Amino acid sequence: MRPLALILAGLLLGPAFVSSAIGQRSGRELLKAGQEALRRGDSAMAEASWQAAIRMDSRLDSAYYALARLLWSRNPERHRREARRLLDRALRLQPDNLTYRLLELEIRAFEAERAGLQVLADGRLRLLLKRIEELGGYNTAPVQYALGMLQLRAWRRLHNAYETAPEPLEERIRGMGASSLRAAFDPEFWHARRQRVLRLQSAAEEARRAAIAHLETALQLDSLYRDAYLALGRLHLEARDLSGAASVFERFSRNLPADGLAWLGIGVVRHFQKRFAEAEDAFRRALTLLDAETRRALQDISLLREPDAPPEDPERFWVQQDPFLLTAHNERQLEHYARVGYATLVYTTPRSGVPGWKTDRGRLVIRYGLPLREVLQRPQLEGGYQPAYLFWDYGSFALAFEERLGGDGFVLFAPKAGDDPEVIRWLNMPALEAELRRKMPSTYRFIPAGGLFELTHRVYYFRSDSGATEVVHLYGIPIRLRPGQREVSHIPGAVFRLGFFLEDSLGRRRYTYQERMRRLPTDQLRIVDGRSLWVGISPHSVPPGTYRAAFELYDETLQMAGIEHGPLSVPRFSDDQLAISSLLLAEQVSEEPLGGPVWHRSPYWILPAIGERFQRHHPLYVYWEVYGLQPDERGRYEVEVEYTILEQVGSSSEAPDRPPGRQGARISARLPVSFPQPTGRYYVTLDLASLPAGAYVLLLHLRDSKGREAHARTRFLLQ
């Protein structure tokens, strides 16, 4: 009879049927049947078989142990006493069984934690460790693993921790007057109230070194010890020791190459090391090897979106989230994999059976990343167990967790229903995770290995000779020059990639431009706000419309990037409508060829200004074009041009010595301009010496012979 059928029959026909069905076997046959059922994942049948085996043979110690291990693995808090009773029966029958003693060690460690004791200071545990050593099993992989786990649990209780008075968090608010969540987790808050504060870092470091030594010994004794790899990798990850974690997970993958968690660990480490291509390869391997539930967690985007948001296609979501389009991989998606992987590897507790990505801490790490700072407060040992509190500081907001034994470790702290409203307001955090998600959007900022630099660039709109709109991108690449490099014709060793991308409202790519640049000529260098910039000009023919634009620069040598994403509205210049281009501010405009970063717009050579600051004693060149002109009665294309320069008083700190109450400076000029054709190109030279330093706006107003008008404006700073 199949196991499911047997259980159903037992429910329908009663215990007598089950007894008769399995009572035909001996105790050892029932023990073996239970082991086979457990391998199939049928824990209910395994439990029934082992209970029957004990009834058949009350001296079958392995059946007592198997039942104890099963109940303990289900839920330590709920089944602790029964598991302990069964294990005691097994130990009375086989007191020198090393496997049984290791389970006893695990249960006793849990009980010590539950009682609020330092695990390694428990006298009963020390006696048990001595007994295990006497049994001759001290230098076996399981014993070394068990000792390592004891030290790992001790480290986790001590890491980033200090002891304080055993005050519930709510009481700190009501009775002790903490002004904020951060203040309640600041040791100075306790010192000011003459409370003893004991820092635990030295004990934590001692436990960490001991845990590493035991777990490494376990792996030396058994290079296929999967749980030892996971425990050691978890320890290094949680301690932010990326080189140690990389070594562990690489050995894990070499010795157990079909284990998805090994490749998941490599992906997490490589991503944190900003080796994104290697991380992507490791995550891809992990996705082919992990169990279905973990794969779904890696591919689930629900925690990154608002609780009430409608369903969205994950592929489209990730396209829109890509922070750096110059690379072949999506760093935001890799960050998500790394966060899920970290939660899986660090917050999964075998005792509870809850995957780490399902725990409170795991879900919050997936949405917000790792906190900037973590503080653990443990109560001083007075009168038994009291929960510890964990504080996560994200800078713009903070979270608190309360310790829970027998579950997933820590749960998000929430005020109780009857708490004082002042307590809830003081916490500045919601009682429900869904409210937190509505209040605080998912956070992520991409930073390449070499860091980010400020992207200096400008965008201008003109009409090309073919009638299409031309987007002219003026950009500056920061260059770190060594002595003597200005005197050479090209900048040695500089290799850059430039990218300009446009996507529509549906996330579809509408325009892509990429260029790899090296041997940059030194005559295009400019000093802008104290920085050396290599200035380049890149024109693009783009259909009119509204886009999500990405301007990106990447220094391949220093692994630094300048990134700017944002909306871009590309105008349409038609033949029958009077329109004016962007106003391009330039260092010089000439009908003769110029050197440097010039843009040739026949008949002019234009040297654009990359910065927005100009010197008063230098002339300012303004280049513009007009489209859609219509001839007058004499067949001429004439317009009246009015220039107005207005000082923006109060909008800038460029002139701190400006007398209070002074009116902003204003100058204007009007002149007629005639063109030989419907499209006109023109520039004007402005003398700004009479203007004070400050922020200005330049307004250009055109009126043609038909009475039609067009306007343009730009801003600049005078020094």
pLDDT at 259: 97
User: How many residues belong to the chain?
Assistant: 719
Structure tokens, 514: 């990429």
- Residue 225: pLDDT above 90? yes
pLDDT at 584: 96
CB distance 655 to 693 below 8 Å: yes
- Residue 188: pLDDT above 90? no
- Residue 182: pLDDT above 70? no
Give me the mean pLDDT over the 380-387 stretch.
Answer: 61
Residue 369 gets the label, from left (phi > 0), alpha (psi -120 to 50) or beta, of left
- Residue 488: pLDDT above 60? no
Per-residue HEC secondary structure of 463-517 comes to: ECCCCCEEEEEEEEEECCCCCCHHHCCEEEEEEEEEEEEEECCCCCEEEEEEEEE
Window from 480-494, 505-519, 656-670 with minimum mean pLDDT? 480-494
- pLDDT cut 90: percent of the chain above it: 45
Window from 47-61, 260-274, 638-652 with minimum mean pLDDT? 638-652
Between CA 488 and CA 490 the distance in angstroms is: 6
3-state secondary structure of 404: strand
Between CA 144 and CA 223 the distance in angstroms is: 13
pLDDT at 150: 84
Give me the mean pLDDT over the 669-687 stretch.
Answer: 92
CB distance 336 to 268 below 8 Å: no
Phi–psi pair at 167, nearest 5 degrees: -95, 130
From 432, 385, 377, 383, select the one nearest 406 (Cα to Cα).
Answer: 385
CB distance 279 to 338 below 8 Å: yes
Spell out a b/e string for 586-598, using b for 16 or more CB atoms within 10 Å of the CB, else e: bbbbeeeebebbb
pLDDT in tens, 449-470: 999 988 889 999 999 888 899 9
CB distance 678 to 637 below 8 Å: yes
DSSP 310: P
| Band (76; pLDDT cuts 50, 70, 90) | low
Q: What is the CA radius of gyration of the chain?
A: 36
pLDDT in tens, 594-653: 988 999 999 999 999 998 899 988 899 999 999 999 998 888 899 999 999 999 876 544
pLDDT at 135: 78
pTM for the predicted model, two decimal places: 0.81
pLDDT in tens, 128-173: 877 877 776 667 888 888 889 888 888 888 887 766 666 666 555 4
pLDDT at 165: 61
Per-residue HEC secondary structure of 652-714 comes to: CCCCCCCCCCCCCCEEEEEEEEEECCCCEEEEEEECCCCCCCEEEEEEEEEEECCCCEEEEEE
257 vs 185 pLDDT, higher one: 257
- Residue 311: pLDDT above 60? yes
pLDDT at 209: 93
Structure tokens, 191: 């010192």
- Residue 560: pLDDT above 60? yes
pLDDT at 138: 66
Between CA 13 and CA 589 the distance in angstroms is: 99
CA 461, distance to chain mean position in Å, is 36
CA atoms within 13 A on the CB side of 64: 23
3-state secondary structure of 539: strand
| Band (69; pLDDT cuts 50, 70, 90) | confident
The number of beta carbons lying within 10 Å of the beta carbon of residue 276 is 21
- Residue 700: pLDDT above 50? yes
| Band (77; pLDDT cuts 50, 70, 90) | low
CB distance 694 to 647 below 8 Å: yes
Looking at every residue in the chain, the average pLDDT score rounds to 83
pLDDT at 667: 86
Rounded to 5, what percent of the chain is helix, strand, coil?
A: 40, 25, 35
| Residue 458 one-letter amino acid | R
pLDDT at 539: 93
Give me the mean pLDDT over the 37-63 stretch.
Answer: 88
| Band (482; pLDDT cuts 50, 70, 90) | low
DSSP characters over 51-81: HHHHHH-TT-HHHHHHHHHHHHHH-HHHHHH
pLDDT at 176: 47
Per-residue HEC secondary structure of 204-248 comes to: HHHHHHHHHHHHHHHHHHCCCCHHHHHHHHHHHHHCCCHHHHHHH
Question: Measured at the alpha carbon of residue 73, what is the angle toward residues 68 and 74, in degrees to the nearest 5?
Answer: 100
Can you tell me which residue has the tokens 């007058």?
Answer: 632
DSSP 452: B
From 19, 388, 16, select the one nearest 169 (Cα to Cα).
Answer: 388
pLDDT at 414: 64
CB distance 255 to 249 below 8 Å: no
Between CA 645 and CA 473 the distance in angstroms is: 25
Which residues are registered as beta bridge partners of 377?
Answer: 162, 389
Cis, peptide link before residue 448, omega less than 30° from 0 = no
Per-residue HEC secondary structure of 162-204 comes to: EEECCCCHHHHHHCCCCCCHHHHCCHHHHHHCCCCCEECHHHH
Phi–psi pair at 520, nearest 5 degrees: -70, 125
Structure tokens, 712: 């343009």
Highest mean pLDDT among 104-118, 124-138, 185-199, 672-686: 672-686
Give Cβ neighbours of residue 487 (< 8 Å, ≥ 6 apart).
none
Between CA 639 and CA 642 the distance in angstroms is: 10
366 vs 307 pLDDT, higher one: 366
CA 386, distance to chain mean position in Å, is 33
CA 307, distance to chain mean position in Å, is 19
423-to-172, 183, 399, 420, 430 alpha-carbon distances in Å: 10, 14, 14, 5, 11
| Sign of the four-CA dihedral 301, 302, 303, 305 | positive
